[in-house]
Structure 1
Amino acid sequence: MGALNRVFPDKQDHNISLSPSQTNVSLTPFGGNSTFEGDMDEVKRPLSARVIDSFRRDIHASVTRGSIGGRRRSYDAEAAAVATANSPLVRRLKGRHLQMIAIGGSIGTGLFIGTGRALALGGPASILIAYCLIGGMIFCTVQALGEMAVMFPVAGSFAAYSTRFIDPALGFAMGWNYLMQWLVVLPLEIVAASITVDYWSPNIRLNALWVAIFWILICCINLFGVRAYGEAEFVFSTVKVTAVIGYIILGSIINICGGPGASYLGFTYWQVPGAFNHGFKGLCSTFVTAAFAFAGTELVGLAAAETQNPRKTLPVAIKQVFWRIATFYIASVLLIGTLVRYNDERLLSGSSDYDAKASPFVISIQNAGIQVLPSVMNAVIMISVLSVGNSAIYGSSRTLAALAEQEQAPSIFRYIDRKGRPLAAILLASLLGALAFAAASTIQVELFNWLLALSGLSSIFTWGSICLAHIRFRRAWRVQGYSLDELGWQSPTGIWGSYVGFTMNALVLVAQFWTGFSPVGHEQHDTNWLVKNFFQAYLTVPIVALFFIVYKFWRRTKFVKLRDVDLFTGRRELNLKVLVAQEREERMHWPRWKKLYKFLC
């Protein structure tokens, strides 16, 4: 407990939660504003001066005293826990922001475009099964994440939980894995947005112009701070959710009544050409596409450090967001399978995996003979990819800042300005978005296939690490003498849900290895293509392993023993036993329908 005692010398009782006023460290008030904003509320200054000053470094932004690793090769995990627990990021996100952030980070190209390739490879039954299985895995994962995030709403939560509960080397690997995922997604989504414009005016020379417009828009939103990001995601996600609901209603009408000149469809396409394509291998080929479509759901946990009341809003957001996404996704893929044949040539005719012309949503509306709505759907796809790009800067910048606070990234990225923005990290993420200008070049497809390979399985590793961290947390909680009644919120699936989630993530990795080594239709390709395809499908695995092994030996990190797991730093709830007891007493008088509703929502 050396680092913890240095920061909180008089507070060693693990049953006491500290407030900023009880320490010698100036922290961001948990209510929301930065230290700078609180000091300057009564001072009237010109707008230009306030704007300029807001980008200057907050002198109280870093809570780390001394060095976590310093010149020593050993790693001080306790000091890292203090750094992430007392993050100066401002708490301005409300419950509605939190819910829409998770939806906004998920509904994008994976659903609107990626399902087309999955449908072609596996058939309608395969994508329905894949989305149901991955959806169940995500349910277990986000419940585990919610339980930990309520107790420890720390910055860079995924990597921080792995560092604290498992091994700092794994936290380092998971942090950089998640960082690379979002750094790569940003240019990919900007390119996707520019490609959607080609639907109306195909001209590759104009792609660079559209890239510049979208890039500047996304960067500006994030530079206005977390509140602007939350409001933008609320608007973007409202449009997307409305569009998906509208499509589900329209698709149901088309299926039952048919479009102009059409008739009842039902499950005709499940019979001819069939429900499955390429058998079991076709089913396995759809798992990664389904996982990519759900990627971003975990952002709700990353935003915990910037949420006004994590204990109240996180459980509600996690449960409601999952069920909304699961409903939208499963209902959508079910309809798509009844409205579009899996052997429709347009599903694989796009110039890339981000080409809206290959979207089964657009194709199904075209098949119905409706003239205007395909353009409307394409506009929704453009908004969706912009939303995911917006989330990419948020996710990458917060992860990079948290890694820097733990001295697992260059210290310059610890720069937090007076508005609570991780400015250096935001600027790096924004600059890497400039890779999107390759959209106007002839190497566009090749370049972005390799960029996508860097993050292809990142979400699987992230979700697996969350489940494993939760398993370790629950075991340490029991070993150190705590009871489940002392948890701020209990995961409905418990520790067994995390075992199921971790196992399913491992099975997805196995399925991806098989389909990467022996892809569908591999007999039609030469050896060089097969080798290239395997590395593009599985490149994430050796990169994550390299990060883990190198850091493990360089920092000489050790696997954290259960009795040594830090269950104190970052616990911000006061009188937790009393609050939980009052809430449970209230729940005892709920009718059965309300208990069921609260369990699900």
Structure 2
Amino acid sequence: MDKDTKSSPQFTTAEEVGVTSVHQVSKWQGFKDSFKRSEAQAELENNPNLTDLEKAALATSKAPLERSLKARHLQMIAIGGSIGTGLFIGSGGSLSGGGPAAVIIGFGLIGTMLFNTVHSLGELAVRFPVSGAFSTYSTRFVDPAWGFAMGWNYALQWLIVFPLELVAGSMTISYWSYDGSAAATVNPDAWVGLFYVMIVIINLFGAKGYGEAEFIFSIIKVIAVVGFIILGIIIVCGGAPNGGYIGAKYWYNPGAFSHGFKGVCSVFVNAAFAFSGTELVGLAAAESANPRKDLPSACKQVFWRITLFYMISLTLVGLLVPYDDPRLLGSSSVDITASPFVIAINNAGIKALPSIINVVILIAVLSVGNSSVYGCSRTLAALADQGQAPKILGYIDRKGRPLVGIGITALFGLLCFLAGSDKHSEVFTWMLALSGLSSIFTWGSINFCHIRFRRAMAVQGRSLDELPFKAALGVWGSMYGVGLNVLILGFQFWTALFPTDKASAYNFFSIYLAAPIILAFYIPYKLYYKTPFLRAKDIDLVTGVREVDLDILQQEIAEEKAYIKSKGWYYRIYKFWC
């Protein structure tokens, strides 16, 4: 009896060891199997009864991407997604080229346009949370040829920005060369390689990895901007070590405007570059756990980012730094010393903070690089799903990762190692020209898609009560967005072709190259496939709608409205904007 009692625990222990071993093997096998093609994707078969447009809508609506992004991820993507080098460094070029008043006008107009654009995108994305939102909506609501052009325009933008941001990250470290820091003397390719590996690994963790990384990056950027706003107010009022009330003296001397109206026009493109990435919240809709609940709040957060983070901080920059400061002139997107934020702090006599701002800029650069891989890979997968790119680019594994898209982006990102070459500036100037106006075309297309969607709703007799989320200013806001984007493209054509009194072909193509590239995609596709410009009555308003029970949906919306209405006026205003 005792013998049996003693042997029983030994047998149990041995069996437990065996189970653990099997479990370990199965986890490793599960890891390997996660890279296999998604079973849901493999089951999507061609139906001969469907048109090409219906197949494209079905494929993008059923893309087996991982739906793991939560409300906090989307809100931080919306708040901090575009706080990067465009704000921290590029605003210096805007200040020197246009003056403080031009900065406020240019960024303000772009901001109001983006408010409407993101609301329009939010309405579409909540209704149709499909993969590759921008190109998919263009294909679905406008013209497949335009969707093809917009998809490749957006993919190329991020494909090019990825290596550019990695190089910018390595060059921000050179700021510490003034004190003989060993980090600044290392070959730039060493830092580029480190940043490259880190960003690729983050994206291999899928949507959740991207979301968590952006959540952390955005919190740091937001804290930095809020801190600068508080510090800027103190400096303007004379509370800095160097002392002296500053007020608005730089608006009088050297003045509020530099280079007149042309200077104001030049700010538009810098502002567009600074705001690029705002639309990523719509691209993430397909990977949101609950777009009906999470996206509206994230889209509304854009208003606060525009007013608080951009307009207030840039107003303070205009008060603290004169536009004729020689450190601003000739500033580049990777020169930390050209940052008006750093110049303002240096002028105030604060010694340690410029290094802290440099760390924030480095984080912002890595954040944009992280978004580049995410945005490009999802867009390539959506283009493949629509038959507008090689089918292999649509490969999505069992963890919901567009592996081939990530691989292509990572492969192209190896251009970042040109950072160690003495010819890198020429290469990257022309690479940047490819993506310089991409955001303007993307935003204009989003607004136009919203106009076409609302038109189709009206023609087909669909009620707006079906929409879980409506753009704040409706179709009028989208019309404003389209009109302003067209004006910006016109102004930029003028300033690019005539940087001075004489026309310059080199300057034109180095700035306006994105436009002929888009035409090069659009016209051949249009002529070869003879795609139609979709009529409102033929637009598909059904495929891809994640909400299926309209009665329950309308009941939820009615209950939410009743609850908001029962509260005070201050709460109703808050819910309208947030």
Normalised TM-score (structure 2)? 0.92
Quick one: distance in 1 between partners of 2:359 and 2:45? 50
Correspondent of 2:213 among 226, 229, 232: 232
Any idea what the Cα deviations from partners look like across 1:276-306, whole Å, max 9, x if unmatched?
0011110001001011111101000000000
Correspondent of 2:525 among 551, 557, 568: 551
Correspondent of 2:440 among 457, 460, 466: 460
CA displacement at 1:44 relative to structure 2: 6.7
* Counterpart mapping for 1:35-114 below 5 A: 45-62=25-42, 64-66=44-46, 76-114=52-90
CA displacement at 1:354 relative to structure 2: 1.8
1:600 maps to 2:577: yes
Any idea what the Cα deviations from partners look like across 1:61-118, whole Å, max 9, x if unmatched?
246422899xxxx971111000011110011000110111233430001101100011
Q: Which residue of 2 aligns with 1:359?
A: 339
Correspondent of 1:578 among 534, 539, 555: 555
Q: Which residue of 2 aligns with 1:127?
A: 103
CA displacement at 1:261 relative to structure 2: 2.5
Paired AA for residue 399 in structure 2: K
Quick one: distance in 2 between partners of 1:134 and 1:237? 21
Q: Which residue of 1 aligns with 2:130?
A: 154
Q: Which residue of 2 aligns with 1:324?
A: 305
Q: Which residue of 2 aligns with 1:141?
A: 117
Alpha-carbon contact 1:75-1:556 (below 8 Å) kept:
no
Correspondent of 2:293 among 299, 312, 326: 312
Quick one: distance in 1 between partners of 2:130 and 2:283? 8
CA displacement at 1:223 relative to structure 2: 0.7
Give the paired residue count: 549
3-state SS of 2:196 partner: helix
CA displacement at 1:60 relative to structure 2: 2.4
Correspondent of 1:493 among 462, 473, 483: 473
1:192 maps to 2:168: yes
1:269 maps to 2:250: yes
> How has the CA–CA distance of structure 1 residues 165 and 204 changed in structure 2, closer, same or farther, with 3 Å as cutoff?
farther
1:504 maps to 2:484: yes
Paired AA for residue 57 in structure 2: A
**Range with bigger deviation, 586-595 or 506-515:** 586-595
Quick one: distance in 1 between partners of 2:255 and 2:269? 22
Paired AA for residue 369 in structure 2: G
Any idea what the Cα deviations from partners look like across 1:225-272, whole Å, max 9, x if unmatched?
111111011011111000000011111111112422330101111111
Q: Which residue of 1 aligns with 2:386?
A: 406
Quick one: distance in 1 between partners of 2:23 and 2:287? 26
Correspondent of 2:515 among 534, 538, 541: 541
CA displacement at 1:438 relative to structure 2: 1.1
Alpha-carbon contact 1:114-1:353 (below 8 Å) kept:
yes
3-state SS of 2:189 partner: helix
Counting helix residues as a fraction of each chain, which structure ranks higher?
Answer: 2
Q: Which residue of 2 aligns with 1:241?
A: 222
Paired AA for residue 157 in structure 1: A
CA displacement at 1:588 relative to structure 2: 3.0
Identical aligned residues as a percent: 56
> How has the CA–CA distance of structure 1 residues 209 and 222 changed in structure 2, closer, same or farther, with 3 Å as cutoff?
same
3-state SS of 1:87 partner: coil
CA displacement at 1:190 relative to structure 2: 0.6
Any idea what the Cα deviations from partners look like across 1:134-182, whole Å, max 9, x if unmatched?
0000001011111111110000011111111111111111100110111
Correspondent of 2:464 among 484, 498, 506: 484
**Range with bigger deviation, 126-135 or 570-579:** 570-579
Q: Which residue of 2 aligns with 1:173?
A: 149
Q: Which residue of 2 aligns with 1:568?
A: 542
Which ranges of 4 or more aligned residues in structure 1 deviate by more than 6 Å?
none
Paired AA for residue 548 in structure 1: Y
CA displacement at 1:541 relative to structure 2: 0.6
Specify the structure having the higher radius of gyration (Cα): 2
Alpha-carbon contact 2:115-2:302 (below 8 Å) kept:
no
Alpha-carbon contact 2:451-2:478 (below 8 Å) kept:
yes
Alpha-carbon contact 1:63-1:83 (below 8 Å) kept:
no
Q: Which residue of 2 aligns with 1:11?
A: none
Alpha-carbon contact 1:138-1:501 (below 8 Å) kept:
yes
Quick one: distance in 2 between partners of 1:313 and 1:221? 23
> How has the CA–CA distance of structure 1 residues 309 and 582 changed in structure 2, closer, same or farther, with 3 Å as cutoff?
same
1:377 maps to 2:368: no
Quick one: distance in 2 between partners of 1:128 and 1:421? 40
1:435 maps to 2:407: no
Alpha-carbon contact 1:194-1:210 (below 8 Å) kept:
yes
> How has the CA–CA distance of structure 1 residues 98 and 569 changed in structure 2, closer, same or farther, with 3 Å as cutoff?
same
Quick one: distance in 2 between partners of 1:515 and 1:204? 39
3-state SS of 2:412 partner: helix
Paired AA for residue 107 in structure 1: I
CA displacement at 1:204 relative to structure 2: 7.2
3-state SS of 2:187 partner: helix
Structure 1 residues without counterparts, runs of 5 or longer: 1-41
Q: Which residue of 2 aligns with 1:515?
A: 495
* Counterpart mapping for 1:280-291 below 5 A: 280-291=261-272
Quick one: distance in 2 between partners of 1:505 and 1:358? 28
Quick one: distance in 1 between partners of 2:31 and 2:343? 47
1:260 maps to 2:241: yes
> How has the CA–CA distance of structure 1 residues 63 and 84 changed in structure 2, closer, same or farther, with 3 Å as cutoff?
farther
Alpha-carbon contact 1:68-1:77 (below 8 Å) kept:
no
Q: Which residue of 2 aligns with 1:16?
A: none
Quick one: distance in 2 between partners of 1:84 and 1:537? 33
Alpha-carbon contact 2:92-2:338 (below 8 Å) kept:
yes
Quick one: distance in 2 between partners of 1:537 and 1:270? 29
Paired AA for residue 363 in structure 2: I
Structure 2 residues without counterparts, runs of 5 or longer: 1-21, 179-183
Quick one: distance in 1 between partners of 2:161 and 2:243? 39
Q: Which residue of 2 aligns with 1:31?
A: none
**Range with bigger deviation, 416-425 or 196-205:** 196-205
Quick one: distance in 2 between partners of 1:119 and 1:157? 34
Q: Which residue of 2 aligns with 1:216?
A: 197
Any idea what the Cα deviations from partners look like across 1:293-331, whole Å, max 9, x if unmatched?
111010000000000110111000110233124310001
Any idea what the Cα deviations from partners look like across 1:182-240, whole Å, max 9, x if unmatched?
11111111111101000013767610101001111111100111111110110111110
3-state SS of 1:568 partner: coil
Paired AA for residue 220 in structure 1: I
